Structure 1
């Protein structure tokens, strides 16, 4: 055999040994390494869970103290409106997406004030109309000043849904 042929066989043998070593040992090592890093991340999350739970319970106690101090148990109209919206959402398969702070306008010449509640509901058209009708007629929280229906699409899931922005006004 010539030297040139020996060199080619040596290079081909070396490359085949590298390929076999990669297939049998290196790929398994890389897979185990990524699995170990995932398990370590889960371990860190698991170990930090009691600390997060403690901070959340502390925050809950603090918020409960603020609520009891301000006596928000049932006296405010905003609280009653939100409670009514939640009960209506359970019965008619809608969701309360947002409930903004009420806007107050006081007219100095007539000494009248108007409070406007702004909230967004999501669901089917029939359920939204039923909830709006109940709010205005049955529960008499005030007059519906504006309703804005908007069809939106969730691009992750490809689903379309209907949102309704409601402005409810009440005179003081």
Structure 2
């Protein structure tokens, strides 16, 4: 009788008290966690802005960067193919292929910018070809570039 009247209620109230204390501890940490998440968001947004990866896909951002650089340095984007998608150890790899026509130094500057300043991925191959326009009899340089990106 004593157990039913006194002890059982005390035990259930003690269990409820422990549960409420753990919930209180969780709720006390929420403002700190929210502050940390906001700081992370600002940091990641600054990284995306720095490496020119706005909300678009990498393919759109890459093409936008190439076109902007080409306009400034008298390059011509001759082709931009759809990315080849494969997987390596469960990680998706995308390989972008594009071709450029222009001066050697301008092409090298673009390749350096893509690999070092924008962080789109790594340049895995650059193939240069000297071609001739038979209409005019002039020669021009065409570069075929392969850029590999993870994700």
Q: TM-score when scaled to structure 2? A: 0.63
Q: Distance in 2 between matches of 1:160 and 1:133?
A: 24
Structure 1 residue 89 displacement after superposition: 0.2
**Matching residue within 94, 116, 119 for 1:115:** 94
Distance in 1 of aligned mates of 2:140 and 2:74: 13
Structure 2 equivalent of residue 90 of structure 1: 71
SS of the counterpart of 1:126? helix
Match of 1:151 in 2: 130
Q: With CA pairs under 8 Å and 6+ residues apart, which has the higher RCO, 1 or 2?
A: 2
- Structure 2 CA distance, aligned partners of 1:167 and 1:146? 5
Corresponding residue for 1:167? 146
2:57 aligns to what? 76
Output one character per residue of 1:8-28: Cα deviation in whole Å (capped at 9) or x when no partner: xxxxxxxxxxxxxxxxxxxxx
Structure 2: which 5+ residue stretches go unaligned? 1-53
Q: Write 1 or 2 for the structure with the bigger share of helix.
A: 1
Distance apart, 1:75 and its partner CA = 1.6
**Pairs within 5 Å for 1:49-60:** none
Runs of 4+ with deviation above 2 angstroms: none
Residues 128-158 of structure 1, C-alpha deviation per residue, up to 9 Å, x if partnerless? 0001100100111100010000000000110
Matched residues in 1 for 2:83 and 2:66: separation? 15
Q: 1:92, 1:75 → 2: CA distance?
A: 24
TM-score (norm 1): 0.55
| 3-state SS in 2 of match to 1:119 | strand
Q: Number of matched residues?
A: 98
Q: Of 96, 105, 116, which residue of structure 2 is paired with 1:126?
A: 105
